[in-house]
Amino acid sequence: MKSNFFPLSTTCSFLKGVGGIVELAPGYLPVAYNMVRKAGGLCIADEVQAGVARTGSHFWGFEGHGVIPDIVTMAKVKLENPP
């Protein structure tokens, strides 16, 4: 019996910083995004910790991985000290 199930989306944080800094493996996100999109899903970038230039090299964390998400989430913007 054929299943009609497919992933609706994948959400990925680009920098795990709560328990120390843990970066994703190089090349992981392009492969993951490709798999999700082939299945008809959406790619969502969780930029709560990595976004707004917090990684130092890019404004958004996903920029350092060479991917473009369908949706970007963010929070905790410091308006008194913008990047």
Alpha-carbon separation of residue 38 from 35, 42, 68, 76 (angstroms): 5, 10, 15, 33
User: Tokens in use for 73?
Assistant: 């989430």
- Of 6-10, 19-23, 32-36, 79-83, the range with the highest mean pLDDT is 32-36
Choice between 66 and 5, residue whose per-residue pLDDT is larger: 66
Report the chain's terminal Cα–Cα distance, integer Å: 53
Per-residue confidence band for 10, with pLDDT thresholds at 50, 70 and 90: low
State pLDDT tens for residues 21-77.
Answer: 667 788 988 998 998 888 888 888 888 777 777 777 778 888 888 999 998 888 765
What is the per-residue pLDDT for 79?
Answer: 65
